[in-house]
Amino acid sequence: MKDQKQLIQDLEKLREKAPLVHNITNYVVMNSTANALISIGASPVMAHATEEMEEMASLASALVINIGTLSEKWVEAMHLAGKTAKKKGIPVVLDPVGAGATTFRTNTTKDIIQEVRPQVIRGNGSEVLAIAQAGFTTKGVDSTASAEKALEAAKELAKNANAVVSISGKTDYITKGEDTRAITNGHPLMGKVTGTGCTATALTAAFAGINSDPFTAATEAMVVMGIAGEMAAEESDAPGTFYAKFLDALYKIDGEQIQNRWKNE
Amino acid sequence: MKDQKQLIQDLEKLREKAPLVHNITNYVVMNSTANALISIGASPVMAHATEEMEEMASLASALVINIGTLSEKWVEAMHLAGKTAKKKGIPVVLDPVGAGATTFRTNTTKDIIQEVRPQVIRGNGSEVLAIAQAGFTTKGVDSTASAEKALEAAKELAKNANAVVSISGKTDYITKGEDTRAITNGHPLMGKVTGTGCTATALTAAFAGINSDPFTAATEAMVVMGIAGEMAAEESDAPGTFYAKFLDALYKIDGEQIQNRWKNE
Amino acid sequence: MKDQKQLIQDLEKLREKAPLVHNITNYVVMNSTANALISIGASPVMAHATEEMEEMASLASALVINIGTLSEKWVEAMHLAGKTAKKKGIPVVLDPVGAGATTFRTNTTKDIIQEVRPQVIRGNGSEVLAIAQAGFTTKGVDSTASAEKALEAAKELAKNANAVVSISGKTDYITKGEDTRAITNGHPLMGKVTGTGCTATALTAAFAGINSDPFTAATEAMVVMGIAGEMAAEESDAPGTFYAKFLDALYKIDGEQIQNRWKNE
């Protein structure tokens, strides 16, 4: 299939080029995100000091803005990096962690969407609903609204924000408004490890650093995530060892795995 | 036994309700604490921005205040969240990491105990001694005073602070002054992984979000920790793989494990 | 051999004394560094609040200054801790993560070298070149300049800064200018886990807390790193499980492993 070939080619390119992904991300997942990016073949850098934002963002092939443990100073850095990225044509992926849970998060998300205009917004159903509707209360950073319920809101958001919206869930949906892809790969244990969503965001940025079409990049990242989750679940039945096997799977995933496992709905 | 049945019932309830535990905790253990909470069945959120403290704390079933890598701004957030929790009747568990090692930590601990009045104070022997005596110097964040030596100080502290004091060590002691429980479960490898104590604190909060008696909740958390440590040590003999197996054990621990392994002194 | 005996003796002493290593380090590696230090036998403490820097640094056997995710406030803490350490004769190991990538990092590195005068500067080839030459652009925090290329610059830097310079790469080089050691132990999977360099820095500090000769301490840390990497690679073929096995190896490495595996060039 055309999509499979494209992904296999992009993955090869990713491993060859090792795109530098600049992450302004939350404390909880910095280590696991960095490891996931290295495992798939990218080069991570985590940096948030306002003093170095323009310089660091300029070096990168893609930028991740993840608001998981935000504070005032970091929001400033997010805007600085985001604006630099836009100026230089570097793709930006936003993860609105916990949007809807607090006003600070919802407002920060809105501001970044308006000011930075990210190419991809990647979150769970609750977060996407919260952004689209404003005023929806999520239960912390977990997904309480199913991806399906959030899909209509996501299409609306994609049009209004002129962005690809990528929702993770039992089925992942990637939409740019009129066009939507559904990915049914994955495994329930992925929800039992912290930061799986943040990893999906980081991989989306890694692929956006390789394939200039954000819709394709977002799809490819979710397929790789889902397949790696399935590979890991074949070797582990609980979260601790599953996480290690998941990183192993990102490192090992190849054309054969992609051809055999990618399930389109 | 009555206690075992209660724990089995509370663990089931925990996995069903997935209580949201709000953690203001240190950078070192954010990831491992989040993973431990998910593995046992709770929902973690890590948040520290003063801008969102009242809102976030209001959503939670329990609050963890852990001073492991504190700074001025975070102490402010701890007080904001703590006061909100008290107002709403949300249980607060304090982990005075490194109290006694520096004046900043000892004073921060005292202030939080006085202002926030946590239901549970959970630390190692040195920390508990440092709080009780003030002026005792710990060797960093490790336990140098045995739990036994600290027990008398803990009883005093429990009475003065009107809190349950939970001390981890070879034997764990949970005391509310007149009443004391001793738990002898556990394994030495637990001391070879960073943040085991912080995980115990987070699990104490998770159980406090389920069982409104802090003495019971603190006991249940230490029993679950100890049994999971024993389960993990049967499958690993060194810290790296032990940690992964420990998370697996939190995910797998069940009524049978609790009945077979809980050792009371 | 004399060096092997010295290392075996120092490792025994390390495990017996458990030197307290004070780390001002980056968010990405705090957990993995703490675990590596515990696994080898040291006691880690992570602390960065300016309010407690003098007190904390005074308690330690060695200090790590790692600029991986720096910000203005933390740079202040680095100087405070560094000056305290110098005053008390506590060895300081500097990891100039990403020096050369941004002006902020390069300048911070220069300032710390000038003001604190660390005993050991431990980085990758790009970072060392960047410091020595000033104006060299690294690709984020990865090593793009080979250790070999950086060696001449390192010798110069060692003389000018009156420090031991330790460069990690396929071959590790430790130099004090006139005198240079090369270590060829290690495994490529070490480069597929985030923070391996930061771990090398932390272990250098742990050995510096035991052996007062920084050249010996830096060499011993790199040998232990390399051998542990080889041990781990015999039990894993991908980054996630490799990392767990690497910590296991730090815990298990002994005189026999050192005698059988240490390769001198």
Print burial letters for B165-178: b (CB count within 10 Å at least 16), e (below 16).
bbbbbebbbbbbbe
All chains having 3 or more CB pairs closer than 8 angstroms to chain B? A, C
Per-residue pLDDT, B139:
47
- Partner-chain residue, chosen from B22, B52, B247, that has the shortest CB–CB distance to A239: B247
Residues A122-173: tens digit of each pLDDT: 999 999 999 987 633 444 444 556 777 789 999 999 999 999 999 999 999 9
Put simply, the answer to whether B239 touches C248 (Cβ < 8 Å) is: yes
CA angle (B154, B157, B163) in 5-degree steps: 100
Contact C127, C153 (CB under 8 A): no
Which chain C residues have a beta carbon less than 8 Å from that of B103? 52, 55
Distance CA A17, CA A14 (A): 5
Put simply, the answer to whether B252 touches A238 (Cβ < 8 Å) is: yes
Q: Could you give the C-alpha distances from C118 to A36, B95, B229, C2, C21, in angstroms and in order?
A: 33, 34, 40, 27, 15
Instruction: Write the CB contacts of A148 (distance below 8 Å, at least 6 apart in sequence).
Output: A125, A169, A171, A173
Distance CA A237, CA C124 (A): 38
Averaged pLDDT of chain A: 93
In DSSP terms, B167 is beta-bridged to B123, B173
Instruction: Please tell me chain C's helix, strand, coil percentages from 3-state DSSP, rounded to the nearest 5.
Output: 55, 15, 30
Distance CA B164, CA A259 (A): 57
Taking the Cβ of residue B28 and every Cβ of chain A, the question of whether any pair is shorter than 8 Å is answered with no
Put simply, the answer to whether A240 touches B247 (Cβ < 8 Å) is: yes
- Partner-chain residue, chosen from B18, B49, B60, that has the shortest CB–CB distance to A104: B49
The pTM score is: 0.95
User: Domain B2-261 belongs to what topology?
Assistant: UDP-N-acetylmuramoyl-L-alanine:D-glutamate ligase (3.40.1190)
Residues B51-78: tens digit of each pLDDT: 999 999 999 999 999 999 999 999 999 9
Is the ipTM beyond the 0.90 threshold?
Answer: yes
Contact B197, B225 (CB under 8 A): no
All chains having 3 or more CB pairs closer than 8 angstroms to chain A? B, C
Residues C140-175: tens digit of each pLDDT: 444 566 777 789 999 999 999 999 999 999 999 999
Q: Predicted confidence band at B164 (pLDDT cuts at 50, 70, 90)?
A: very high
Question: Running DSSP on this structure, what letter comes out for residue C51?
Answer: G
Contact A160, A121 (CB under 8 A): no
Among candidate residues A211, A216, A223, the one with its CA nearest the CA of residue A17: A211
User: How many Cβ atoms sit within 10 Å of the Cβ of residue B133?
Assistant: 13
- Partner-chain residue, chosen from C35, C46, C73, that has the shortest CB–CB distance to B69: C46
Residues A117-133: tens digit of each pLDDT: 999 999 999 999 999 87
| Minimal CA separation from C193 to chain A, in Å | 6
Backbone angles phi, psi at C48, to 5 degrees: -140, -5
Give the alpha-carbon dihedral of B65, B69, B74, B75, to 10 degrees. 70
Q: Which helix (H) or strand (E) holds C23?
A: strand C20-24
Taking the Cβ of residue B34 and every Cβ of chain A, the question of whether any pair is shorter than 8 Å is answered with yes
Taking the Cβ of residue C35 and every Cβ of chain B, the question of whether any pair is shorter than 8 Å is answered with yes
Q: Could you give the C-alpha distances from C119 to B32, C52, C62, C159, C211, in angstroms and in order?
A: 33, 23, 10, 12, 12
All chains having 3 or more CB pairs closer than 8 angstroms to chain C? A, B
Which chain C residues have a beta carbon less than 8 Å from that of A22? 140
| Minimal CA separation from C7 to chain A, in Å | 31
Which chain A residues have a beta carbon less than 8 Å from that of C66? none
User: Hey, what amino acid is at A32?
Assistant: S
Query: Which residue is closest to A30 within chain C, CA to CA?
Result: C28
Residues C34-86: tens digit of each pLDDT: 999 999 999 999 999 999 999 999 999 999 999 999 999 999 999 999 999 99
Taking the Cβ of residue A27 and every Cβ of chain B, the question of whether any pair is shorter than 8 Å is answered with yes
Where in chain B are the domains? Answer: 2-261
Put simply, the answer to whether A101 touches B56 (Cβ < 8 Å) is: yes
User: Hey, what amino acid is at B64?
Assistant: V
